[in-house]
Chains A and B, each alone.
Chain A
Amino acid sequence: MKNIDLKNLTVKKAHDAMIKGEFSASDLAEAYLEQIKKVDPEIHAYLEVYGDVKEQAKKADEKIKAGKATLLTGIPIAVKDNILIKGRIASSASKILEGYKATYDATAISKLKEEGVVFLGRVNMDEFAMGGSTENSAYGVTKNPHDTLRVSGGSSGGSAAAVAMNGALVSLGSDTGGSVRQPASLCGIVGLKPTYGSISRHGLMAMGSSLDQIGPLGKTVTDVEILFNAIKGKDSKDSTSISDKTYLPKKISGKPVIGVPREFLKGPGINPEVLKNFNEALEKFEKLGFKVVDVKLPNISYSLPVYYIVMPAEVSSNMSRFDGVKYGLLKEGKDLMGDYLKSRAEGFGSEVRRRIILGTYVLSAGYYDAYYNRAIALRRLITEDFIKAFNDVDVILTPTAPSPAFKIGEKITDPLQLYLEDIFTVTANLTGMPAISLPSGFTSDSPALPLGIQMTARHGEEELLFNIGKTFLNEL
């Protein structure tokens, strides 16, 4: 077996090495399978490692030999368990879909198949992407590769841990309120929540349809950019998908201006080390020649409560498709109603049930105006605040998460405590704007825990996020 330095490997390095014949896609796949075998029994990022990885790699090698390789040909990738790959199991880490085999490819997956990537396996998540720690997975928690007593974050915890433990070069996650960015931050890697609509949601299991986006994760901004560019684009199968022409990027003269909502960072519950690291990041940006200014977002403090009304409302609607009739688990009652009640009660975990009940409540007659309609109006107001703020600045910077990776079991008993994890990330889902989490250093704990910063830009301005991100992480 070839000795490949997986820790320092990037998509471009792997591509160049495969083109030059330094190692083959088969060698690379084998190296990742070995690493998974070595570290995953402890981390538990993977729910399944596919049995045909070597065959996939062989096909990639043929493509490379034929001179038809693209940047992603032969690149080993992990896929979140809620993204469909035809003929393979996709369970959303839920008992209700245990053993469910996808009947079609998600659009993002068909695009990756055209590139000739190697799918290593499906990775763990909170059930139906509801949670921030993978503790809501029906198949056990994914541990943080930096400290196995702690969570990997969530809901795309498996996607982040797989990359951080060098068990995949890049991965796909999904982000409804921070589910790509927060685990990326907690695991010390890069994660992108793209502009709403930029990656087709066709074949991504729906949680909150007006908030959900597939997002790429990787060790470098460049890797995330390559993956994003390969899977984005208008899709006739997702009417909310957008093209490159939907939003026209603003011409920026000189260095981009960074805005910081300082008022918002004064709230309680933000870990002092997170704040210290954030201020150090600001200093670094200033040293790199960026102008850093204060920015006012008058209604941003309503983001989290608005999110926890809109999201469960959409969850309660989307989860109604699981009825024990069309697919998934059936637990029989005495009549059809009994089948529904039993299948759904036994198939869904407690967090999913909680959000369904909450969503049903905020949508029910008598409460609809006070909760849902009011939240929708506020969502629009918050979006307008951001659009206004972007008249004066080009990106807005906050920490990604209010704390570093927490201990397994520490927050799971109090749902509200766990919801507060999303305080900085939900805004990008409410506004539909792109946001990226960048690794920004470590805590003074032993073992040291990764920290991350989050940068948000105008709709359609992923390229700006990539450029500033590469400058920050010395990738240029």
Chain B
Amino acid sequence: MITDKDINKLADLARLGLSDVEKQKLQKDVGSILAYVDQIKSAPVEIDTKGRVGSVKNVMREDEVLNETGSNTEALLSEAPKREGQYLKVKKILGSSDSFEI
């Protein structure tokens, strides 16, 4: 069962600032979905953490720049909510509190 504490922790980890009402609803929904997916616990399967997933393999390429430098800069930066010149602008990080409160 998912507790209040779990939901608070998960919301913090996922960077979702949720209201108490939303947290309660999520607790119920996620609880019932987990109860459903819990049936895999009885499945006849060995967990092989050393094994690979399917036919996944590394695909390598040369580490080289394929675009002309600066050809996409303006288009990309113009989508940013806040910018200063050629930089993305964010609030000060150093010295701010570690609290998760909004």
Contacts and interface: CB of A to CB of B under 8 A. Distances in A.
A361 B54 contact: no
Nearest to B88: A325
A241 to B, nearest CB: 9
Contacts of B92: 335-336
Contacts of B48: 377
Interface string B1-20: 01000110011011111100
A370 interface: yes
Contact of B96 (A100, A336, A358, A379): A336
A353 B18 contact: yes
Contacts of B14: 316, 320, 344, 356-357, 360
Nearest to A236: B61
A330 interface: yes
Contacts of A210: 53
Contact of A336 (B36, B54, B91): B91
A324 interface: yes
Contact of A377 (B7, B15, B47, B72): B47
Given A336-B93, A374-B45, A325 B80 contact: yes
Interface string B55-79: 0000101000000000010011001
Give the interface size bracket for A toward B: 35 or more
B94 to A, nearest CB: 10
A361 B16 contact: no
Given A353-B26, A361-B10, A416 B81 contact: no
Interface in A344-384: 344-345, 348, 350, 353-354, 356-358, 360-361, 364, 369-371, 373-381, 383
A333 B26 contact: no
A285 interface: no
Contacts, number: 160
B16 A345 contact: yes
Given A316-B14, A357-B16, A377-B46, A416 B36 contact: yes
B86 interface: no
B19 to A, nearest CB: 8
Contact of A333 (B17, B41, B88, B93): B17
A308 B47 contact: no
Contacts of A340: 15
A378 B45 contact: yes
B80 to A, nearest CB: 6
Interface string A455-475: 000000000000000000000
A240 B59 CA distance: 8
Contact of A354 (B30, B47, B51, B96): B30
A233 to B, nearest CB: 15
A308 B30 contact: no
B91 to A, nearest CB: 4
6 contacts: A103-B76, A326-B79, A337-B99, A338-B17, A361-B2, A361-B10
